[in-house]
Amino acid sequence: MRRAALLATLATAACGVEKMPPIVMQRQGAAAAVKRVAILPAECGTTVCKGVDALVAADLAFRGYDVVDLDRLAAIERRRTEVQVSVQDTSGPAMTTTSTRTVTVTGAMLSDVDVWSLRAELAAMGVDGLVRVRTAELEGWPERVEAMVRVTRTADASLVWSTLCEIEVSVLDLANENAERAVRCALAGAAR
C-alpha cells in the first residue's frame, strides 16, 4: 500500500516538472537588404509542413518582406486543355441535353524545378532571397523538437540570417502543435 502511494506521488511529481527553456541560436550574414523572398517548399509534403510554410510566410510578410508564392508561378510554359462534351438525346418525347466539362493543366510548377538553376528567372521576378524552413523531432528524453528558418541571397546563396530553436515538448502533444511552436520560437528569435 505504501509503495503504491509512493509511486503515485512520484508519478504526479514527475508530471509537474517544469520544462527547460527553449534553446535559440542565431546567425547573421553579411549586411544586405533582402526585400522579396520565395519560400522553398518543405520536403515532407504533409499538411504539417504546408502549415509551417504558411506560418513563416505570414510572419515574414508581417515583417515587411514581399513573399512570392512559388506554387503560383509556372516554371515553363504550362498547357491548359479544356474539353466540353454536349450530348443531345432526341429519342424520347422531350429533348434532353447533358454537358460535361474537363479542364487539365499540365507542366511543371516552379517549386518542382531546382531553384538554384533558375537564379536568372528569380532575379527577373525580383526575388532576391530564398527561405528554407526545416523541423525535426529529436529522439531522447526529454522529447524535443527543433525548427530552423534560414534566409539566403538568391544571387550567391550567401547567408542573410538564420535562426534555430529547440524546445522541450510533452509526449501528449501532437506533432503539428510541436512543429508550430518550434517554428514560432525560431521566428521570435529571428533577426528583425
Cα–Cα distances in angstroms (integers) from residue 4 to residues 11, 12, 17, 72, in the given order: 10, 12, 20, 61
For residue 47, the SS3 value is helix
* Angle between the N-to-C axes of helices 47-62 and 175-188, in degrees from 0 to 180, rounded to the nearest 10: 20
The whole-model pTM stands at 0.67
For residue 55, the SS3 value is helix
Residue 158 dihedral angles phi and psi, to the nearest 5°: -80, 150
pLDDT at 61: 92
What confidence category does residue 112 fall into, taking pLDDT thresholds of 50, 70 and 90? low
Q: Is residue 160 part of a domain?
A: yes
Q: Is residue 58 part of a domain?
A: yes
Identify which of 49, 21, 17 has the alpha carbon closest to the alpha carbon of residue 144.
21
Q: Is residue 29 part of a domain?
A: yes
Beta-bridge partner residues of 23: 166
Q: What is the pLDDT of residues 63-103, one digit of tens each?
A: 889 998 776 665 556 677 888 888 888 887 888 888 888 88
pLDDT at 49: 73
C-alpha grid cell, residue 79: 498547357
Please give the residue range of the domain that contains residue 116: 18-75+111-188
Instruction: Compute the average pLDDT of residues 154-174.
Output: 86
Residue 29 dihedral angles phi and psi, to the nearest 5°: -85, -170
Count up the domains in the chain and report the number. Answer: 1
Distance (Å, whole) CA 56 – CA 59: 5
Q: Is residue 55 part of a domain?
A: yes
pLDDT at 62: 92
Q: Is residue 22 part of a domain?
A: yes
What confidence category does residue 10 fall into, taking pLDDT thresholds of 50, 70 and 90? low
In this structure, what CATH number is given to the domain that contains residue 40? Answer: 3.30.160.670
Q: Is residue 67 part of a domain?
A: yes
In the DSSP assignment, the letter for residue 190 is: S
Q: What is the pLDDT of residues 17-32, one digit of tens each?
A: 567 777 888 888 877 7
Q: Is residue 101 part of a domain?
A: no
Q: Is residue 33 part of a domain?
A: yes
Q: Does residue 148 carry a pLDDT above 80? A: yes
